[in-house]
Chain A
Amino acid sequence: GAVVSQHPSWVICKSGTSVKIECRSLDFQATTMFWYRQFPKQSLMLMATSNEGSKATYEQGVEKDKFLINHASLTLSTLTVTSAHPEDSSFYICSARGQIAEQYFGPGTRLTVT
């Protein structure tokens, strides 16, 4: 089956620093990748939709200058949280979609900003 990986699985960083999270589709080409954020005991909130070779489309209320998304190849998308603050601490999950509509989810990345 289709496998999506994320790296790192967890990260702790200091306030004011930037953190990059990678999302890879391991056995298929992902034309579209999605980034979600999930706070404890809450649902997944879509942050942005990213297509290979073009700019990401951000959901309302998501700061594009703070959450930089790059989808440079059909198997890799990255999310960079710039100037992270404690309120950015969350579980970040990516998903990837190939030729069909189904999305395959990564295992998530736990970000803690101290």
Chain B
Amino acid sequence: GESVGLHLPTLSVQEGDNSIINCAYSNSASDYFIWYKQESGKGPQFIIDIRSNMDKRQGQRVTVLLNKTVKHLSLQIAATQPGDSAVYFCAEGFSGGYNKLIFGAGTRLAVHP
């Protein structure tokens, strides 16, 4: 289940289950959205992205859904594995200017065997 920690909410799942990580974004003008995985002490690692004119995109074991009406983004991970344990961030991007990214708060995914 989900719990809210001091700063990062945590999602705990059993190995093999599907995981759904949610994100609310702030700017309706954002052109694209990216999900990143960050392991402890490392930089963010790109997982998947989606442009604002799409509502779904699939990768290997991951699916991103975009609902622009409610400004909501989700990352679905199929058959979650212990190696998926990390903190996941969504980021919204703006094509104007220098394509800077604004990161969401993040969710810690804990996968239990």
Contacts and interface: CB of A to CB of B under 8 A. Distances in A.
Interface of A: 4, 6, 32, 34, 36, 41-46, 49, 51, 57, 91, 93, 95, 97, 101-108, 110
17 contacts: A32-B98, A41-B5, A41-B8, A42-B8, A42-B106, A43-B89, A44-B103, A46-B102, A49-B98, A57-B98, A95-B43, A97-B98, A101-B93, A101-B99, A102-B49, A104-B46, A105-B45
Interface of B: 5-8, 32, 36, 41-46, 49, 89, 93, 95, 97-106
Contact of B32 (A41, A101, A108): A101
Prevailing SS type, chain A contact patch: strand
Contacts of B100: 34, 46, 49
Contacts of B42: 107-108
A60 to B, nearest CB: 12
Contacts of A104: 46
